[in-house]
Amino acid sequence: MILSAVLGVSLFASLSVAVAIILTQRFHGHLTHDSHDGVQKLHKFPTPRVGGVALLAGACAGGLLLPEESRSLWWGMALSALPAFACGLLEDITKRTGVRLRFLATICAGLIFCLLTGQHIARVDIVGLDRIFAVTPFAVLFTAVAIGGIANAINLIDGVNGLASGTSIIILSGFAILAAEVGDRQILGISLILAGALGGFFLTNFPMGRIFLGDAGAYATGFMLAALAVALPARNPEITPLVGLLALSYPVTETLVSIHRRLVRAGTSPGQPDRLHLHSLIYRSRARRLAARLGVPKMRNAMSGMVVMTLPLGSTALMLLCATSPILTLLSIILVSTVYLILYRKVALLGPFGLGPRPATVPEI
């Protein structure tokens, strides 16, 4: 009953604040609007990009209802997320925060999480590597960098309506089910808080995109997903530490492919935005045709997200099936990454998508 209330209160608080932001945007839009001009922009009108504020409201409201035994871990995670959230919110308002500073802020948040909660990746269930992770300083530093990477990966996939929040809700649902199976009510409660907060935002972001997560929302969400991916197996040794990587394999693969693409293309850098993400390519090809065929052209953006969300749905289902087997989990990670690469290659070869000459690097992924 308490956990149901946590979910409901988180959702209601997040939804209420998101609606309030949308209704009052004429007063704060000069600070909070995300311009529709830019290489990665797929929306047509300036839109509030401070959905992270709604998530914060939902998370805090739900956290107040957690049972006492669950509060220490939750508030430790929440306090650890502040550097990532604050730096992201600064970017949402000023649009002038550098990529490196934001990445460092997420790593700093990861380091605080490790030190404050005592949770870090101490094993990976891979022969040889476990000896390295037994060295605590290395394990803590690796965990902090990995958490920062996941936070940025969620920000990277935040390009079409509902994709980042929908992907995160799917993964959180998987974490909640897994936590319930092993009797970890603390992780279960935290997963429900975050799912509720994201759910309230999702109702205003999907399908029409009335408000965006922004960097604050994306970084904070990515941080929390990564923190849970670390804490769940750390607190429950029967679960392989690889489950987090499996659940997050879509955004991780998207990030690695994007870094590779930008490194090998002349004149680009890993931090430079482009329009060649999987969701961007689908938006300019399959989603356009599907929306036109169904007679709902305004749903093109949302359809792009729905197509891509099949990847996290599949990876989360595999996580629940293979959670106690390192070998099956590792094979599942390879499977999901391979499916992503095949899908990316197939979509990328359909045409130039209005981007000019087709990049020679796309078929080489």
What's the angle, vertex CA 76, arms to CA 181 and CA 48, rounded to 5? 95
Respond yes or no on whether the N-terminal peptide bond of residue 237 is cis (omega within 30° of 0). Answer: no
Helix, strand, or coil (residue 209): coil
Give pLDDT tens digits for 163-221: 999 999 999 999 999 999 999 999 999 999 999 999 999 999 999 999 999 999 999 99
Higher per-residue confidence, 318 vs 352: 318
Sequence-separated (6 or more) residues with CB below 8 Å from residue 304: 42, 160, 163, 279, 282, 283, 286, 287
Taking Cα atoms as reference points, which of 45, 80, 348 lies closest to residue 220?
80
What is the biggest distance separating any 2 CA atoms in the chain, rounded to whole angstroms?
A: 59
Give pLDDT tens digits for 271-297: 677 788 999 888 887 666 666 666 666
Neighbours of 240 (CB within 10 A): 24
- How many residues are present in the chain? 365
The rounded percent of the chain whose pLDDT value lies above 90 is 76
DSSP H or E stretch at residue 323: none
Query: Which band of pLDDT confidence, cut at 50, 70 and 90, is reported for residue 266?
Result: low
**361 pLDDT exceeds 50?**
no
Average pLDDT over residues 89-102: 94
pLDDT of residue 335: 98
Please check whether residue 339 is in contact with residue 81, taking contact to mean a CB–CB distance below 8 angstroms: no
Query: Which band of pLDDT confidence, cut at 50, 70 and 90, is reported for residue 305?
Result: very high
Residue by residue, DSSP assigns 46-86 as -EE--HHHHHHHHHHHHHTTS-HHHHHHHHHHHHHTHHHHH
Give pLDDT tens digits for 318-338: 999 999 999 999 999 999 999
Sequence-separated (6 or more) residues with CB below 8 Å from residue 25: 32, 33, 48
Mean of the per-residue pLDDT values for the chain?
90
Residue by residue, DSSP assigns 257-281 as HHHHHHHHSTT--TTS--S-SHHHH
Give the span between the Cα atoms of 42 and 36, in whole angstroms: 7
Give the span between the Cα atoms of 353 and 10, in whole angstroms: 40
Average pLDDT over residues 57-74: 92
pTM: 0.92
Average pLDDT over residues 224-248: 97
Give the span between the Cα atoms of 198 and 275, in whole angstroms: 26
**237 pLDDT exceeds 90?**
yes
